[in-house]
Amino acid sequence: MASNGYSATFGSGPIIIDQDFRDHFQGYLVQIKSNPNYVFVYTANNEGDSFWQAWSFGNWQKATEESLAKCNELAKKNGNSKCKVLAKGSKIFWKWNQIEEELFKNKKEIISSNDVSVMVGTGNIKLSNIVENEYKLAIQQMRDFNSNDSKFVFYFAVSSSGNNYGLMTGSIAKSGISGNKIKDDIKKVAIANCMTKNNGKQCYLYSSHNGILWKF
């Protein structure tokens, strides 16, 4: 998948991998399974900052450059080291003998967004503290987004227990297409991410960039 010209960008050494990092990587794998016509690159640093990028037409160079740039923005904000490539597609390139053991701890079966039904949740629900915090982070991410050319969109899905969640974000150009297809894809990926964590059981849309969707 990778040319020798990009070998210098491959990372090495221990990474601080917590469950949030694992969930993020698992969401990346969901995207790969759901979008076979795109190429994907996952980047990270040793402190645990990470970012992934997808690109069409087999453009590995563009996906790599964009993923590294976005990851390095996050790393700089956190005062951490520069990012390197962890994976291209599902193949791991990071050199550390514990990388797969740490990444795939608590691994669940990957649910494709092509196999889910999108439904808005109904009834009483109480989000766990972890899910509530992730929802607040999604709101903050939306508020921090700044672009004159595009609009930030996100969908947040949860299990009926409120203990599992799935998040997917994206941006839509303010001019041109309506973005309905993009929004539909983002909804499905959020549901799939949640269902992957929820052992394949149905998850439901809880909120979006437009506010709470759940019908209490």
Q: How far apart are CA 207 and CA 215, in angstroms?
A: 10
Long-range contacts of 142-148 (CB under 8 A, 24+ apart): 142/169, 142/209, 145/171, 147/171, 148/174
| pTM assigned to the model | 0.72
- Is residue 136 helix, strand or coil? helix
- For the segment 140-194, what is each residue's pLDDT rounded down to a tens digit? 988 888 778 888 899 999 999 999 999 998 888 776 555 788 899 999 999 999 9
| Residue whose C-alpha is closest to residue 195's, from 148, 157, 138, 141 | 157
Indicate the domain borders of the chain: 4-103, 113-212
19-34 vs 180-197: helix crossing angle, rounded to 10: 130
Beta bridge pairs of residue 155: 168, 208
